[in-house]
């Protein structure tokens, strides 16, 4: 996926654009990846919307992918950073789509910047988003076991017998992506997830979409449904037999769910 680099507070930030060249004033969609990931997880939806004329911004969060660090260990700080990035890009209003940790960033952005969020999509979400002590400790030591645990727990057993993306080994691809993360980044991400507090009254009034995987072990479906219950205008999409890694396991179903809310401008 092509993209561009910008400077923010002396640091390089990479933003994928889905290889699109939108018209001035085109509606925008922003994608926020999960812990240890980068913008590449959004390749399918980013390219789809870019080729249909939307302005796509698939960010690499600080310390991830092609963006300079350090990584932030606070969802609130990441949300404020995202607001600054969008201001630099002259994106006044957008549909915000986040997966896992990215869903918390999107969630907090919608709470703190309601006038800038025309729609919100939360994939594999939970608020709060607690992290097991074993995973936190392994990530603190930069131990490969952290990647093994997160990757294994993120995929359903269905990935052992089929793949929606021909020629791709889902478990292997997920592990390689985590292995590319810089030392300390995964722990910072998990710390951000573990410490997030949504507060009492969310006051999110824009159209919302919550996608849950029924076999998700990282953010169980019931947790995502609890989040949806706090939203004034929420559509729920359940993916039977799908784990947390829904962008790998059910890419077409995820895209189909995103199309109505992202393109309704």
Please report, in tens digits, the pLDDT of each residue of the chain (265 residues total): 788 999 999 999 999 999 877 777 899 999 999 999 999 999 999 999 999 999 999 999 999 999 999 999 999 999 999 999 999 999 999 999 999 999 999 999 999 999 999 999 999 999 999 999 999 999 998 889 999 889 888 988 765 556 666 656 677 777 788 888 999 999 999 999 999 998 766 679 999 999 999 999 999 999 999 999 999 899 999 999 999 999 999 999 999 999 999 998 6
196: three-class secondary structure by DSSP: coil
> Do residues 128 and 183 make contact, with C-beta atoms less than 8 angstroms apart?
no
Order of strands, edge to edge, in the sheet holding 55-59? 3-8, 11-16, 55-59, 28-32, 94-99, 117-123, 208-213, 234-239
> Do residues 120 and 207 make contact, with C-beta atoms less than 8 angstroms apart?
yes
* Cβ-based neighbour number of residue 183 at 10 Å: 8
Q: Based on the number of CB atoms within 10 Å of its own CB, is 24 exposed (0-12), middle (13-18) or buried (19 or more)?
A: exposed
Pair of tokens at residue 203? 């006051």
**What pLDDT does residue 219 have?**
97
Q: Write out pLDDT tens, residues 151-166.
A: 888 988 765 556 666 6
* CA–CA separation, 21 and 43 (whole Å): 16
Task: Please indicate, yes or no, whether the overall pTM of this predicted structure exceeds 0.85.
Answer: yes
> Do residues 233 and 206 make contact, with C-beta atoms less than 8 angstroms apart?
yes
Nearest to residue 31, comparing CAs of 21, 20, 19, 41? 41
* CA–CA separation, 15 and 89 (whole Å): 10
Q: Based on the number of CB atoms within 10 Å of its own CB, is 166 exposed (0-12), middle (13-18) or buried (19 or more)?
A: exposed
What is the assigned CATH class of domain 3-263?
alpha beta
Q: Which element (helix H / strand E) includes 191?
A: helix 185-195
Pair of tokens at residue 249? 């396991």
């Amino acid at each position: 996926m092509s993209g561009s680099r910008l400077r923010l507070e002396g640091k390089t930030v990479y933003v994928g654009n889905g290889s699109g060249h939108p018209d001035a004033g085109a509606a925008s969609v922003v994608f926020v990846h999960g812990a240890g990931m980068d913008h590449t997880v959004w390749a399918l939806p980013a390219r789809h919307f870019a080729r249909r004329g939307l302005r796509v911004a698939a960010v690499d969060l600080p310390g991830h992918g092609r963006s300079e660090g350090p990584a932030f260990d606070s969802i609130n700080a990441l949300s404020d950073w995202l607001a600054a990035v969008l201001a630099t890009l002259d994106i006044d209003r957008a549909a915000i789509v986040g997966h896992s940790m990215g869903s918390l960033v999107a969630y907090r952005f919608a709470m703190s910047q309601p006038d800038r969020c025309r729609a919100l999509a939360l994939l594999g979400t939970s608020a709060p988003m607690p992290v097991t002590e074993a995973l936190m400790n392994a990530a603190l030591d930069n131990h490969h076991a952290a990647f093994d645990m997160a990757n294994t727990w993120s995929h359903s057993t269905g990935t052992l017998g089929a793949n929606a993306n021909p020629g791709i080994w889902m478990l292997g691809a997920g592990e390689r992506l985590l292995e590319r993360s810089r030392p300390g980044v995964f722990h910072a991400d998990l710390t951000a997830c573990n410490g997030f507090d949504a507060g009492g009254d969310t006051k999110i009034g824009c159209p919302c979409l919550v996608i849950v995987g029924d076999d998700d072990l990282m953010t169980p479906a019931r947790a995502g449904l609890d989040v949806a219950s706090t939203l004034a205008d929420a559509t729920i999409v359940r993916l039977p037999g799908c784990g947390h890694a829904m962008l790998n396991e059910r890419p077409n179903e995820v895209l189909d769910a995103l199309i109505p809310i992202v393109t309704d401008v």
